[in-house]
């Protein structure tokens, strides 16, 4: 339908090969998508929860039936490993379709309200949730299914039409899933994919009733400003610099396994991956030794199916420069690189899995979001120092605490200023769709995904007050007589004693 002639090449970041092209849509193209979406939305809303759930459940089956095609597409445009695409993308998407189909009627059910006001005695009060109308989702490049297409699922379940603007770096997954929705019976124009660069995102912002954005803090500020200009709601999931605190009584092997795995997961390109580690002095040397051994053993390379490599490539070319800058800055300031620390050779966007020690908070690798395969580890004297340093950040998305003493670990966790904290684990809280997920500091955004708030944000609240008509009573109420006004005053004084 697009009039756009300019095409954007899509690369496989692991090989440098161009694997497809997508249109760079104009503002006019996106305005036409929005016009069609608004026309289609009322009928989609009118289907009700059961009707919409049938489409979502069919899409859940479609994902499972087309798992290989979806995983291959994700790997090809992101460079991530088969397992990263399977566990964090496909499995999440399949679970999300079923979850929102089931939970939407519960989370968006009318809520009865009781009031102490004497003016509404005998009346029925309720709050109901109505869809916003047209929701825009602007997605990131690191998780084209989970954090891009995945945010469209609750918006659709709530009865909205949705336009998804995926990253121009990884748009192919969104287009594939859009075809899947059509095959599963989603009415025409209820969902659309607006491909394009940054200008397409700005054009989308001018057409919608609410925006959900996932991406960098810098771009998030621009989206927030654009939403504020139009006075539309915005939910923003932004950056993370997620700390891991390892207390002296921790199971060192377990902590080292989690540090190595969750810092390098998706080549470190996860907003809630472990980006910095604070370890109490008594176990510091043992922990560093074990983590270094594990990271050094990781196999990095071009994904070629299940079990082929442990770490893929970076997805976005400028991210290689960011990782290199952080490592070089740390090295120049006195940090030691125990493994990795170099760009990859050949085509593609590569940086070696890297462990840094002798770091401090003057270094970029401890303050800025790296979003790459690095793990800086810092020795601390005690839990108090670990908490202070963990909170010394502009970000507050997620954190982890490791200790055999669960009571102590939970006490520490409650003092860490982040939207989520896991104990003796990391990241898996994201798979519990009942738990809200969002930032606790401005650098990590505003709003939440998941849980009741993860679908209610796509709705407007509407207050209902229902009066039962009683002719014998109501005929004397309006207009008020002096006698009734006096009686009402006496009643109010009695209630407010």
Return the structure tokens found at 427: 């990241």
Our answer to whether residue 277 is catalytic in this structure is no
| Cα–Cα distance measured from residue 103 to residue 150, given in angstroms and rounded to the nearest whole number | 15
Instruction: Point out the catalytic residue in the list 77, 237, 275, 352.
Output: 237
Our answer to whether residue 271 is catalytic in this structure is yes
Count the Cβ atoms, other than its own, within 10 Å of residue 329: 15
| Cα–Cα distance measured from residue 399 to residue 392, given in angstroms and rounded to the nearest whole number | 13
In 3D, which of 181, 45, 55, 100 has the Cα closest to residue 164?
Answer: 181
Instruction: Point out the catalytic residue in the list 184, 271, 277, 459.
Output: 271
DSSP lists the bridge partners of residue 279 as 246, 379
In 3D, which of 246, 314, 311 has the Cα closest to residue 285?
Answer: 246
User: Within 13 Å of residue 145, how many CA atoms lie on the same side as its CB?
Assistant: 31
In 3D, which of 291, 365, 357, 286 has the Cα closest to residue 322?
Answer: 365
Catalytic residue ranges: 237, 271
């Amino acid at each position: 339908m697009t009039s756009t002639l300019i095409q954007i090449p899509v690369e496989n970041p692991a090989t440098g090969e161009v694997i497809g092209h997508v249109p760079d849509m104009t503002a006019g193209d996106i305005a036409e998508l929005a016009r069609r979406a608004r026309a289609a939305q009322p009928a989609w809303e009118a289907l009700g929860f059961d009707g919409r759930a049938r489409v979502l459940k069919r899409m859940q089956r479609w994902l499972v039936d087309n798992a290989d095609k979806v995983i291959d597409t994700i790997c090809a445009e992101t460079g991530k490993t088969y397992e990263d695409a399977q566990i964090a993308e496909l499995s999440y998407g399949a679970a999300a379709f079923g979850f929102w189909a089931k939970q939407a009627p519960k989370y968006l059910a009318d809520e009865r309200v009781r009031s102490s006001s004497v003016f509404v005695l005998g009346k029925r009060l309720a709050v109901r949730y109505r869809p916003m109308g047209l929701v825009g989702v602007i997605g990131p490049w690191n998780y084209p299914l989970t954090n891009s297409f995945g945010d469209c699922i609750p918006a659709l379940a709530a009865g909205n039409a949705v336009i998804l603007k995926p990253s121009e770096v990884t748009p192919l997954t969104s287009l594939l899933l859009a075809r899947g929705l059509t095959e599963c019976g989603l009415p025409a124009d209820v969902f659309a994919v607006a491909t394009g660069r940054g200008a397409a995102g700005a054009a989308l912002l001018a057409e919608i009733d609410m925006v959900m954005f996932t991406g960098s803090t810098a771009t998030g500020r621009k989206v927030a400003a654009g939403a504020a200009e139009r006075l539309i709601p915005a939910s923003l999931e932004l950056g993370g610099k997620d700390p891991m605190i390892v207390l002296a009584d921790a199971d060192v092997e377990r902590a080292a396994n989690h540090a190595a795995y969750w810092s390098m997961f998706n080549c470190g390109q996860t907003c809630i991956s472990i980006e910095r580690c604070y370890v109490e002095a008594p176990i510091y040397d043992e922990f560093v030794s074990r983590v270094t051994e594990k990271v050094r053993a990781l196999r990095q390379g071009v994904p070629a199916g299940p079990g082929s490599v442990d770490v893929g490539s970076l997805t976005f070319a400028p991210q290689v420069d960011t990782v290199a800058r952080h490592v070089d800055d740390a090295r120049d300031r006195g940090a030691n690189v125990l493994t990795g620390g170099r760009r990859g050779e050949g085509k593609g966007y590569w940086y070696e899995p890297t462990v840094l020690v002798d770091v401090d908070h003057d270094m970029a690798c401890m303050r800025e979001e790296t979003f790459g395969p690095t793990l800086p580890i810092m020795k601390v004297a005690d839990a108090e120092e670990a908490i202070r340093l963990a909170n010394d950040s502009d970000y507050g998305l997620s954190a982890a605490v490791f200790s055999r003493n669960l009571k102590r670990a939970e006490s520490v966790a409650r003092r860490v200023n982040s939207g989520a904290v896991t104990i003796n684990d990391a990241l898996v809280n994201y798979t519990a769709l009942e738990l809200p997920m969002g930032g606790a500091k401005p650098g990590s955004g505003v709003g939440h995904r998941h849980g009741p708030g993860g679908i209610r944000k796509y709705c407007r609240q509407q207050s209902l007050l229902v009066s039962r008509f009683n002719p014998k009573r109501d005929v004397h109420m309006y207009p008020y007589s002096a006698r009734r006004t006096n009686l009402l005053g006496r009643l109010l004084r009695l209630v407010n004693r």
